[in-house]
A and B are shown apart, each in its own frame.
Chain A
């Protein structure tokens, strides 16, 4: 059962689309962070986050910097991360996967792509 998804992206549009796309998971709370640093704040505030959707290119703390710190935190080891990448940044996706991310979706993505990956990784 998915209860809480943390979406990390600097684009308000993408957050709005997550809201749209993830509305099918009833009773699942969507938490938004605009960059990696904010994501750590949310992880500390909110207990029981089941999944992280992580953009790479963000100001303040980008997705790769986030993963670098994230993988060192023992408490968060069980939370799967899905990388949301963009065309032209394939090498970053590969680095992210090496740092422990469970999968990736490339922007622009369809709702169905996101759903099937979430269902494969987090079994809601």
Chain B
């Protein structure tokens, strides 16, 4: 460690943020070299980031990292003058080195001292240099000194980042969480004040005071909405933070499987709440693995099908109002509905003769215990299926859809909210209690009479247009007394992919933005039905339903009602 100053968390934060960018540039450079061969511009583009990383590491006393990067600079210089040939084994060492550097920098920042031993990686580079000493040196322009050589090429986003950073303040994310919580409470009290004002305004004696109060509440509402939006904005990060690790992943996977794949990224600048950024990485890794493994064909198969030998995966993000949409599209073999049906029947997920549209059949890939390849591959065959992806995304209040054309390709569309902290919810009444349903899952709500309910296989169902929708009584689910006397009820139709269920409720109380409060340790007897709680303006605690879990519980209810032939 340097002797005459303290390495503060702030310095480490700046260092690691910078190091991540430089190492990203290193991966990018290696990928480009591998794809396009030796170009002076590609090489000179990496020298700047490496040089800065070396300088920064030295300043913080990370000597092993500094020395390793220095050696890496030497290797790149020899790549430039032809002393080191770019063969696959060299790429393996360089990629391994980049990974080791990433670990080393992250660990050094966590531990505030160097932990990761880089000797093995260093030895691998030394061996390269030893071979290079024997090789002739070409008068290549890439090794020209700085100032006369070609300009460094920075990725456009990076330059902007550097320029902006001087205005930035580093904050602990937990403080932002706390801030958002406070804003949430402010909104709750705002609602409470609003209700008071309305009540007063409706009483003759308090009418004037009530109006004044409503006026003030209206102003508070404007400011608190802006405050909420600003806090949300501060918590957001570009989705680049997740996307940037995928070029390397796709490259490594494609290489393992002898496939040629180009990954195209779009909309990396789309901003999403950091809490979602933290959670979405794993499901996306799995979906990309899935596209590489099951989607893109080998070059031979592609050529035989009249396609280009190189497959393409497009990963894109776009924002639409308060949702972000992530698309993973490949031009691979597509999903064969007949094959999916066959496999699902083999695995006992469906009955062999169950009538089913192709669209419904494709949805089976999200079922638990489903996998289209028999051979467990090194890539996706780790016992993790798309069912796990679906669950992770639903935990984030998101949706996944799939569209596929056999022989042409597959497109997965993920819809996510921009934040996890506040959701739009439909408030419903059941046996005198209020519940909140995340609006994203609500397809429609409708009124029905007793005569509209049909019993099919012991289950209550409603026919909505040409679809039979099973009903689920919230009162039964929560063990509440059913006010069965009501002649007309409401059904809130929830959707999950192609599936629908209808929740039977006594009344609808409108839509509202609610702040989600996590429930500590869950609610006894309600495990898997409640996603959290929110506090209403009048201080009531309202439970937020876990829609994904409702679909799961519907399935179990169906099983038991079939066995007993009771239902309802």
Contact = CB atoms under 8 A, between A and B. Distances in A.
A37 B15 CA distance: 24
B54 A86 contact: yes
Given A65-B147, A89-B146, A108-B61, A12 B14 contact: yes
B56 A59 contact: no
A10 B11 CA distance: 15
A59 B166 contact: no
Interface residues of A, number: 34
A88 B73 contact: yes
A88 to B, nearest CB: 6
Contacts of A56: 146
Contact of B48 (A16, A32, A57, A108): A57
A59 B61 contact: no
A91 interface: yes
B222 interface: no
B11 A16 contact: yes
A92 B148 CA distance: 11
Nearest to B165: A12
Interface residues of B, number: 35
B78 to A, nearest CB: 13
Contacts of A15: 166
Interface in B124-164: 145-147, 151-152, 154, 159, 162-163
Interface in A45-91: 55-60, 62, 64-65, 86-89, 91
Interface stretch (B1-9, B313-321, B406-414, B416-424): B1-9
Interface of A: 10-17, 20-21, 32, 34, 55-60, 62, 64-65, 86-89, 91-92, 95, 107-112
A62 B152 CA distance: 10
B418 to A, nearest CB: 28
Given A13-B59, A95-B147, A59 B4 contact: no
A17 B58 CA distance: 12
B11 A13 contact: yes
6 contacts: A13-B14, A14-B56, A86-B58, A88-B54, A107-B55, A107-B59
A16 B10 contact: yes
Chain B, interface SS category: helix
Nearest to B10: A16
Nearest to B3: A110
Given A14-B55, A57-B52, A95-B147, A110 B11 contact: no
Nearest to A35: B162
A112 B52 contact: no
B207 interface: no
B343 interface: no
Given A11-B55, A16-B11, A86-B55, A62 B145 contact: no
A98 to B, nearest CB: 12
B560 to A, nearest CB: 61
Contact of A87 (B4, B54, B147): B54
B54 A64 contact: no
Given A57-B146, A59-B159, A11 B11 contact: no
B41 to A, nearest CB: 13
B336 interface: no
A88 B152 CA distance: 18
Contact of A17 (B11, B18, B145, B163): B11
Contacts of A87: 54, 58, 66, 70
Contacts of B162: 10, 12, 34
B51 interface: yes
A81 B2 CA distance: 25
Instruction: Give the one of A17, A21, A89, A91 with max B CB within 10 A.
Output: A17
Nearest to A84: B55
A16 B14 contact: yes
A14 B147 CA distance: 21
B166 to A, nearest CB: 6
A15 B15 CA distance: 11
Contacts of B14: 12-13, 16
B76 to A, nearest CB: 12
A12 B18 contact: yes
Contact of B2 (A59, A65, A108): A108
B4 A111 contact: yes
Contacts of B165: 12
Contacts of B10: 16
A62 B18 contact: no
Interface in B475-497: none
